[in-house]
Amino acid sequence: MPTKRPPKRALLGLGLALLGLFLLSFSLGRYGVPPVTVVKILFTRLAELFLGKGALSRSWTEQMETVVINIRLPRILMACLVGCSLSAAGAAFQGVFHNPMASPDILGASSGAAFGAALAILLGASSRWITVSAFCFGLVTVGLVMLVARRAPGARLINLILAGIILSSLFNAGTSYIKLVADPSNQLPQITYWLMGSLSGTRLSDVPLAFFPMAVGLLPLFLLRWQLNLLSLGESEARSLGVNTHRVRLVLLLSATLITAASVSFSGMIGWVGLVVPHLCRKLLGSDHRYLMPGSFLCGAAFLLLVDDVSRNLLAVEIPIGILTALIGAPFFLYLITRKEERL
């Protein structure tokens, strides 16, 4: 699909839009902080990392700094990380499977992570161990999917999809059973709220823990983005051009699954980001993964950050992000697939 504007210019526009939304998000909330004050607080904190504490004078209240640094900063950073990861994973899965309906949870990482989180809540674990349990079960699920696909006869990609569907169904059944036996006055609401997705409990210490596995998964997706273009030519054509298709697919799938498991473990179940955002990027940048992948990074981060801003400011009670992404994503995707002049 030809692009309406140069991809590099569009990428620059996405980056500037994300930066503007990033700064604006600090001023949104029940306790208002002027944008100029936000910039001063962030700049002062950054300067103190190199010059030492108290290097610059302060013209704001301690309450303002607490709101910006301890409450809004970790949530904004986590929204950007999760949105970037889910969108990039969706673009990778759609490219590897040549299927516009492929999504980040196609190998069962989300279902496994949901089961792990529900199990940890049932056992009375702390929030940190709930995250660890969700992440580990997400990876274990993908490992089982890979094992089943390797042992089953037939095409490897088809086996991966079928194994993902089967194991997702099993872990979904396990999650349903946990909800059945959970304490209805305490544990069940916590499980249900986690499954709807939220960033409300994010702490500053969670950001480095999420950043490391996400960075490990995002880097191969960025470096191998040009090989995704070659994979779209077909198996024999890609091999004739020197691409080890089996190895590239395996690295892409494992990287995309790693960032999916990490995202779900920290934010809960947030759907539609990995399915809708890559298609939106194709409208802006075209189908060339050299631009589509970094565009998905930026657009996914901006999309989830915007949704999170809406979720915490629209009503007096915070709306879970998973509900809003479904309300926004489903109609938008319906619009995309019903357009007559273009097909996904």
- pLDDT of 2 strictly over 50: no
* Separation of alpha carbons 313 and 238, rounded Å: 48
pLDDT digits (tens, 9 = 90+) for 206-220: 999 999 999 999 999
pLDDT digits (tens, 9 = 90+) for 230-240: 887 777 787 87
Exposure class string for 146-165: b at 16+ Cβ within 10 A, else e: bebbeeeeeeeeebbbbbbe
295 contacts 10 by C-beta, under 8 angstroms: yes
Lowest-confidence region among 102-106, 163-167, 269-273: 102-106
**Contacts of residue 139, Cβ cutoff 8 Å, sequence gap at least 6:** 109, 112, 257, 258, 261
Residue type, 10: A
69 contacts 77 by C-beta, under 8 angstroms: no
The helix (H) or strand (E) run that includes residue 58 is none
Residue 32, Ramachandran bin (φ over 0: left; ψ between -120 and 50: alpha; else beta): beta
Residue type, 87: S
pLDDT digits (tens, 9 = 90+) for 136-171: 999 999 889 888 888 888 777 788 888 889 999 999
- Give mean pLDDT, residues 3-11: 75
CA torsion, points 41, 47, 49, 55, in degrees to nearest 10?
Answer: -90
CA torsion, points 218, 325, 167, 128, in degrees to nearest 10?
Answer: 70
pLDDT at 344: 52
* Separation of alpha carbons 112 and 128, rounded Å: 17
Domains of the chain listed by start with CATH number: 7-338 (1.10.3470.10)
DSSP conformation letters of 182-194: S-TTTHHHHHHHH
pLDDT at 30: 83
Percent of the chain with pLDDT over 90: 49
First to last CA, the chain: 10
pLDDT at 3: 45
- Give mean pLDDT, residues 291-298: 96
The structure's pTM equals 0.89
14 contacts 299 by C-beta, under 8 angstroms: yes
